[in-house]
Each structure stands twice: as C-alpha cells, then as structure tokens.
Amino acid sequence: MALPGAAHPQWLRPDFGIAGVGALMSTRAGGVSRGALAELNLGTAVGDDADAVAENRRRFARALGGVPIFLSQVHGTRVVRLGAAEAEAAREGAAAIEADACFTTEGGIACVVQIADCLPVLLAAPGQRGVAAAHAGWRGLSAGVLEACATELASASRCELRELQAWLGPCIGPRQFEVGADVLAGFGVDSGQAHPRFVARPQEPGKWLADLAGLAADRLTALGLTTVQADGSCTVEDDSRFFSFRRDRPGFGNSGRLAAAIWIDRRAGR
C-alpha cells in the first residue's frame, strides 16, 4: 500500500531545550493514505481507509518516546490527566477520552492533539516535571482552554505559570482566517473598535481576518509565560505539507488530520 516517495515521514520537531522532553508534529508526508487524504492522515473519522489510518498511526507512534494517547476533541475546555491506566487503555484500543487538552507528569506517555487548521499548543514544565498538549480552535481558545491546561500543568508540576514554556504549531494563518462578529464577541472585542488581532475587510462588511496564533500568544503571555515559540506556518497556504479543513473541505468533502505530541523520557539526560 506504500506510496512512491512516501517511505519517510517528515516531522516538525519543537525544541524546548529541556533534557528528557521530546516533541513532534506530523506533516502530511510519509503515510499510505490516498487521494485527498494523502499521505499521512491520522484522523479516524474523516472517511479514510481504516487500514491506512492504522498504518499511519503506527508510523507516528514509532517516532515518539511514549505511548500516544489521542483525544476525542469537541472544541471545549476540558483538560484530562494521563497516566498508566490511560496508556494501557490506549494500547487496548479503548474509546478516546473526550477532551481538548491533556497533561502528564509520567514518563513514556505522549500527550497528543489533532488539528486541521486549529492551533496545536504544546507546553512543558521545568526539568522533566510535566508536559501538556492543547487543541485551540477559536471556540476553545476564547472559552479558556489554554488557561485551564496551563493551570493544571503548573499545579501538577509544582511550578509557577511563568516557568512553563509553550510552542504554538502551524494553524490557519492571519491572511486566511476570515471570521464574523461572533468570533470577535467571543474574545470580548467590540466590532466597532480597532484590535491588533483582527483586521477588518472593508470590501466585505461584517468580516475580519483573525490572527489565531497571536490570540493564543496573548493569552499565554497574560498568564505570565515568558517563553512562547511560534512556528508561524499557515496550514491553508502550504498544501504540500499540511491538511486544512477550510481549504480542503469545499472541494473534497473532508480533510485529513495532523497531530502534535509531547512526552517525557525519563531515561534522557541521566
């Protein structure tokens, strides 16, 4: 089933500079899915062949330093703690936990979120004390998913919020994310006033271009985080590397899913 030239997945590898903390995000290269979902689609509910997705997930898992635990994401703010029981359930093929963020303080467990335009956010506490992953679309972001995730991670890791590091992955970029007044209202922004993260489109009254990654960075900075890295890539504009729900769905009926993961490897740095 392998596709020509698809033998080697191409990963994005955020560097937190913390011994024993690993992080990775998939691109669409290096899988066995075909057609509009080619190649490394990791989503199980997008109409892809089940065997192809299973093989793609095996390739993803082999690149990680822990058991990947996928969530059932609903654009909410629930945060779950992952441990040995959740890892064992994942190995046995149990149904995914419904949440949009997760964290762990244990080694060998990979916190995973899937995206296809929404923003993946990876967080790491000092040392090997804890890591987290959050799925931040505009609804979850405006409702406080990053605040909830960062607070849970800091508490479990026994550190201050300002000590956390964050990485913001590829997402729909500020030239492509057209929104209506409901999105501005979700962030408490008056549609009649200028805002650095929303640019009005005079040719289309009632529409703005939104900076999703910028809004997330603002939220994290407001919490006190001083280390916030941003990849800056746009999933819509770079169709060779990324799936995009907004770009792909009109023509193909659905889009593949990318995934970002972070884990602790207790063996590292010893």
Would you list the domain boundaries of the chain? 21-173+228-264
Give the tokens for residue 157. 């890791």
Q: pLDDT tens, 41-70? A: 999 999 999 999 999 999 999 999 999 999
Residue 39: cis peptide before it, omega within 30 degrees of 0: yes
CA angle 31, 236, 141 (to 5 degrees): 100
| Global confidence as pTM | 0.95
Q: pLDDT tens, 134-191? A: 999 999 999 999 999 999 999 999 999 999 999 999 999 999 999 999 999 999 999 9
**Residue 10: what are its φ and ψ, rounded to 5°?**
-115, 115
CA distance 134 to 148: 10
Give the tokens for residue 255. 């889009």
Q: pLDDT tens, 71-115? A: 999 999 999 999 999 999 999 999 999 999 999 999 999 999 999
Confidence of residue 5 (pLDDT cuts 50, 70, 90): very low
Confidence of residue 7 (pLDDT cuts 50, 70, 90): low
Is 245:116 a contact under the CB 8 Å cutoff? yes
Assess if CATH 3.30.450.70 describes domain 21-173+228-264: no
